[in-house]
Structure 1
Amino acid sequence: MTVILATFTPTKGKEDEVENMLLRLVKKVRDKEPRIEIFKPYKAVRHADGCPEFCVYQRYPDEQTLDQHRHSEHYKSLIEEAISKGHLTTSPHYRRVGSNTESIVNDMSFWRNLGYDDWTYLYGSLEEQKSR
C-alpha cells in the first residue's frame, strides 16, 4: 500500500480555479482509475499568510497504480493546464505519509504536524462520488 499527500499551491487569486480543477480530477479518477482506493481533496491554510493550499490524500494498492495515475493523460493534462494558465505556482509536491493515517487525516493534529492551522474537507471525494 502506498499513501501520498499531494500539495497544490495556487497562485494568489486563483484559488477557485485550483479547487475546481481538483474536483474535476476527482471525477476523472473515479471514472478512469478504479484501483485507486482513496482520493480525498482538502483545503488547508496557514494563518501566517492566509493563503490556502490544496492537499489530496491518496491511497494506492501498490506503486504501479501510483505510477499509472501520475502518467495518466487526464492527470497530466489537468496539471499542465493549471500551470500554463498560471493557476498553480509550481508542480504539485508529493509526500509519503504512513499507511495508518487514514483514521487521523480528519484530526487537527495531522494538519498541525504539516504546518497548517486550519483545513476543510472538499466535497467530491472518490468515496462520496462512488456512493451516488
Structure 2
Amino acid sequence: MLTITGTGMDSNPVGLAVLDAVEMVGNVTVPMMLIVVGFELPFEFHNMKSILLAVVLRMVMMLALAYLINKFVIQQWLQLDELYTAALYTMFILPPPFVIPLSIIGECEHKNYVLNFVSLHLFVSMIAFPVVMALL
C-alpha cells in the first residue's frame, strides 16, 4: 500500500481512500501504456531482410561505441566501478524511442519501415541485454 509519511493522509479514512485510488490508477498505468504503444507497432515481413540488417548494424555500432566509451572514459579516465559499465551498456542497448514514428505525418511507406525497425529492435534488445550483462 502507498504511504505518505508526515502528511497524516494515512491516518484518516478519506486519506486512505485517496491513497488507495492513486495506487489502483498507478497499477494500471503501465499496462495501458503498453497497449497504446503496442497498437501502433505492427510488424510486417515484406522488408524483413533490410530491417534486420539495419537493426544488426545499429546494435553493432552502439555496442562498439559503448565499448570505446567504457574503456577510455569510464575505466581509464574516471576509474568508475562495474555498475557504471553496466549502466552504459544498458543505455546503448535500448531500442530507439517509440515517439519517433509519431513525427512522421500521414501514412507512407517510410513510416511502416520505421515502425517495423522499432518493433524488431525492441525484440533484439531484449535478447542482447541479458547476453551482454552475462559477459560483463
Range class of TM-score, shorter chain: 0.3 to 0.5
Which of the pair is proportionally richer in helix?
2
TM-score, normalised to structure 1, is 0.32
- The answer to which structure has the higher strand fraction is 1
Higher relative contact order (CA 8 A, sep 6+): 1
- Structure of larger gyration radius: 2
